[in-house]
Amino acid sequence: MTLGRGNDVASVEITGLAKRFGPDEVLAPTDLSVEDGEFVVIVGPSGCGKSTLLRLIAGLEVPSAGRVAIGGRDVTNAAPADRGLAMVFQSYALYPHLTVAENIGFPLKVAGRPRAEVAARVAAVAASLDLTPLLGRRPRALSGGQRQRVSIARAVVREPQVLLLDEPLSNLDAELRVRMRHEFARLHGQLGATMIYVTHDQLEAMTLANRIVVMSAGRVEQVGAPIDLYDRPATLAVARAIGSPG
Ligand code: ADP
Ligand code: MG
Q: Which atom of ligand 1 is nearest to the CA of 55?
A: 6
Model confidence pLDDT, tens digit, residues 115-172: 999 999 999 999 988 899 999 999 999 998 899 899 989 998 988 889 999 998 888 8
HSE (CB half, 13 Å, CA atoms) of 31? 1
Cα distance between residue 118 and residue 116, in whole Å: 5
Mutate to test the pocket of ligand 1, among 26, 43, 90 (most ligand atoms within 8 A of CB): 26
Q: Ligand 1 centroid vs 218 CA: distance in angstroms?
A: 9
Distances (CA, A) of 205 to 62, 192, 218: 27, 18, 19
Q: In the beta sheet, which residues pair with residue 32?
A: 14
Confidence of residue 95 (pLDDT cuts 50, 70, 90): very high
Structure confidence at residue 9 (pLDDT): 66
Is the pLDDT at 201 greater than 80, yes or no? yes
Please give the DSSP secondary-structure letter assigned to residue 140. G
CA angle 216, 145, 161 (to 5 degrees): 60
Average pLDDT over residues 176-192: 85
Cβ within 8 Å of residue 212, ≥6 positions away: 40, 41, 42, 43, 205, 206, 223, 224, 225, 226, 229, 242
Q: Ligand 2 centroid vs 241 CA: distance in angstroms?
A: 15
Mutate to test the pocket of ligand 1, among 41, 52, 197 (most ligand atoms within 8 A of CB): 52
Cα distance between residue 146 and residue 127, in whole Å: 13
3-class DSSP state of 215: strand
182 phi, psi to nearest 5 deg: -65, -35
Q: How buried is residue 90: exposed, middle or buried, by Cβ count under 10 Å (0-12/13-18/19+)?
A: middle
Q: What pTM was computed for the model?
A: 0.90
Ligand 1 lined by 46 (C-beta under 6 Å) = yes
Cβ within 8 Å of residue 217, ≥6 positions away: 48, 49
Q: Atom 20, ligand 1: which residue's CA is nearest?
A: 52
Is the pLDDT at 189 greater than 60, yes or no? yes
Confidence of residue 2 (pLDDT cuts 50, 70, 90): very low
**Residue with more model confidence, 201 or 76:** 76
Q: Ligand 2 centroid vs 45 CA: distance in angstroms?
A: 9
Residue 8 parent element (H or E): none
Mutate to test the pocket of ligand 1, among 17, 19, 20, 21 (most ligand atoms within 8 A of CB): 21
Q: Among candidates 51, 75, 55, 76, which has minimal Cα distance to 65? A: 76
Q: Among candidates 154, 185, 178, which has minimal Cα distance to 88? A: 154
CB 130 within 8 A of CB 80: no
Structure confidence at residue 27 (pLDDT): 98
